Amino acid sequence: MAQIYGYVRISTREQNEIRQLVAMREFGVMDRNIFLDKQSGKDFLRQAYQKLLKKLKPNDTLVIKSIDRLGRDYGEILEQWRIITKERRAAIVVLDIPLLDTRQKERDLTGTFIADLVLQILSYVAQTERDFIHQRQAEGIAAAKARGVKFGRPPLEIPALFQEVQEAWVRKEISAREAGRRLGVSYKTFQSWVCQ
C-alpha cells in the first residue's frame, strides 16, 4: 500500500519546526511517517533524509512544506528530485507551490514542462539565496574588522613565569609540552608565544 511521508527540516536547533509539522498533519501525513532533520540544507547527507529516501517506494508520496526545506543547493535539489520521481518512482508535493505536485498522473506535456521549469527556477533561487547569505556574512565580517572588531577569544596573557620556562626550553631541559604544562597552556600556545 502506498504511503505518504513528510520531510521537515530546520537549519538550527533554535528554529522551530512546528509550522512545518502542522502543515504535514493538515495534509494527512501521520506522525510516524514524518522525518525531521535539524541541520543545514547545504547538502543531502542528513540522517533523517537518508532514512526517508530508503523508505520511499513506487507510488509513495513525499510532502514538503517548501522547496528550500528540501535543500539549498541548486544542482543537488534537481538531482534529489530526479532520484525521488524517476528512480524511486514516488510523487512529490510541495505544499507552498501547487504547481510542484507530481501526483497528477493525467498531467499533459505542458503541465510537466511547467512543473520542471518552476522547480528549476525555485532551486536556482534557493541556491542564489544561500550564496547571498555567505556573501553578506563575508561583507559583514570585513566591515567589522575594518572598524577594529576582534573575532574569536581574546589572546591569553603571557604569564610572568614565561621567561624562565622559555629559557629552560631553549636549553633543552624541558620539552614544549612540559613548558606548556608548567604555564597552564597547550604546547602549541607556548610555541606561538615563543615565535612572537
Per-residue pLDDT, averaged over 153-176, amounts to 89
- Given a cut of 90, is residue 23 above it in pLDDT? yes
Residues of the chain above pLDDT 70, percent: 93
- Given a cut of 60, is residue 165 above it in pLDDT? yes
- Given a cut of 60, is residue 11 above it in pLDDT? yes
Listed by start position, the domains of the chain span 4-132, 162-194
Question: Reduced to 3 states, what is the DSSP secondary structure of residue 5?
Answer: strand
Q: Which positions are catalytic?
A: 11
The model's pLDDT over 95-151, given as tens digits with 9 standing for 90+, comes to 988 878 888 655 556 656 776 777 778 777 777 877 888 888 888 888 888 898 888
pLDDT of residue 22: 94
- Given a cut of 80, is residue 196 above it in pLDDT? no
Q: Grid coordinates 528549476 are at which residue?
A: 120
- Name residues whose C-beta falls within 8 Å of residue 153's C-beta, 6 or more positions apart in sequence: none
Question: Reduced to 3 states, what is the DSSP secondary structure of residue 56?
Answer: coil
Q: Which fold has domain 4-132?
A: Rossmann fold (3.40.50)
The whole-angstrom separation of Cα 28 and Cα 43 is: 28
The model's pLDDT over 173-193, given as tens digits with 9 standing for 90+, comes to 999 999 999 999 998 989 888
Whether the CB-CB separation of 18 and 30 falls below 8 Å is answered with no
Whether the CB-CB separation of 63 and 74 falls below 8 Å is answered with no
pLDDT of residue 181: 92
